[in-house]
Amino acid sequence: MKKRLSLDEYYQGIVSQNRVVLGQAITLVESQHSEDASVAAALLDKILPHTGNALRIGITGVPGVGKSTFIETFGTYLTEASKKLAVLTIDPSSQLTQGSILGDKTRMESLSKNPRAFIRPSASGSVLGGVAYKTREAMLLCEASGFDVVLVETVGIGQSETAVKNMVDFFLLLMLAGAGDELQGIKKGIMEMADALVITKADGDNKTKASKAAAEYQHALHLFQPPASGWIPQVLTCSAFENTGIEKVWETIEQYADQTQTTGFWNTNRQQQNAVWFQECFQQLLTNDLSRFDGLQTTKENLEQQVINQKISSQQAARKLLNDYHNAIKSNQP
Ligand code: GDP
């Protein structure tokens, strides 16, 4: 087994912006071992004062929409503007099929060699929520390591988008012109989460179609509930091939940051995200703790069957499981 670093070694490595240590620290927080979990929690606590300074951007869109090409161009633009960029990708398919929607091909080839950029795919093999769970921790580690912008990428077809929305400041949805919403597999809920919608591949023959689609989407967005941020979601077009519209995307994100920092939404949103995060962490700990007791797994499965067959209400089943859990703890005590 690989040698683990000490808590202080992780900490010093991260705050001194050591990429290798940052990578190792992300591996640590992704680890399923319980002894790693306590070091990870201590590390996250220790780096907390160094977090919060990055602009956190979620980016999503169906496979083929042009995410990796966009991130490559957008990321290069940012690094040329002296920004340090971390890209964290969540690919839920890898857990289901061991294959990957995001592709085995080398994605973001030039960005991956860029000294101002750091690219890290999320660990596969855990539950869907679990992947996003670790991504938030990875994001905090990147922030403590001095990255100005953290991009969290998802494929836009799973449940991970809501989890990502809950960890970022700005949510960007990439769309194709003229593909139809159903065809794109984009759910209305995901569109409603977007702070900006970007029509990709606005070049060549596609240019007019992209502008037309942009106007249609802008209209469609007006029909949604106005978001709590007070920000009016923008619809933009871009071509990663021709490097057009990329700067406008960044300007829009900066505008959003300015506006919501002035209104105070920026901070309240992050505070709420932290509160939700705390609740989720606690839920996760409870679930993990429950799994310590083998007998409870059987009880849980039995109760689940009874709930499915309507032999017992969900409410009553949950109370019974909690009761058995309390008893298991008591009988386990020295
Ligand atoms: P992802 O699956 O969302 O990451 O999409 P990719 O970035 O891999 O792009 C999917 C396809 O669209 C590839 O064949 C790209 O070459 C192409 N593509 C990406 N960006 C553009 C663009 O700006 N213009 C055009 N014409 N094609 C693009």
Write the pLDDT tens digit of every residue in 129-162.
455 678 899 999 999 999 999 999 987 666 678 8
Average pLDDT over residues 97-122: 74
Q: Where in the chain is the domain with CATH 3.40.50.300?
A: 52-263
The pLDDT assigned to 128 comes to 46
- Is the pLDDT score of 51 beyond 60? yes
Is ligand 1 within 6 A of the CB of residue 31?
no
Tell me the C-alpha distance between 230 and 221, whole Å.
14
User: Would the pLDDT of 185 be above 80?
Assistant: no
Return the pLDDT at 104. 46
Confidence grade of residue 189 (pLDDT, cut at 50, 70, 90) = confident
Q: Distance (Å, rounded) from C-alpha 67 to C-alpha 239?
A: 11
Q: Which residues pair with 118 in a beta bridge?
A: 86
Rounded-to-integer distance, Cα 137 and Cα 284, Å: 14
Distance between the two ends of the chain, CA-based, in angstroms?
33
Helix (H, G, I), strand (E, B) or coil at 201: coil
Q: Residue 324's pLDDT is what?
A: 94
Burial annotation 226-258 (CB, 10 A radius, 16+ → b, else e): ebebebebbbbbbbbeeeebbeebbebbeebee
Q: CA-CA distance, 38 to 43, in Å (whole number)? A: 9
Mean predicted confidence (pLDDT) in 26-35: 86
Q: Which two tokens stand for residue 56?
A: 């956190």
Distance 103 CA to ligand 1 centre (A): 13
* Residue ranges matching CATH 1.20.5.170 in the chain: 1-50
The whole-model pTM stands at 0.89
Tell me how far the alpha carbon of residue 70 lies from the centroid of ligand 1, in angstroms. 8
What class, spelled out in words, does domain 1-50 have in CATH? mainly alpha
Atom number in ligand 1 closest to CA 240: 23
β-strand partners of 234: 196
Q: Is 297 left (phi over 0), alpha (psi -120 to 50) or beta?
A: alpha
Is the C-beta atom of 62 inside 6 A of ligand 1? no
Name the least confident of 3-12, 57-66, 126-135. 126-135
CA of residue 251 to ligand 1 center, whole Å: 22
Q: What is the CATH number of domain 52-263?
A: 3.40.50.300
Q: Report the share of the chain in percent with pLDDT over 90.
A: 62
* pLDDT tens figures, 223-272: 888 888 999 999 999 999 999 999 999 999 999 999 999 999 999 999 99
239 lines ligand 1 (CB under 6 A): yes
Mutate to test the pocket of ligand 1, among 59, 65, 69, 207 (most ligand atoms within 8 A of CB): 69
Residue 204 alpha carbon, nearest atom of ligand 1:
26
Q: Which helix H or strand E contains 237, and what residues bound it?
A: strand 234-237
CA angle 167/168/172 to nearest 5° reads 130
Quick one: pLDDT at residue 97? 47
Nearest alpha carbon, ligand 1 atom 14: 64
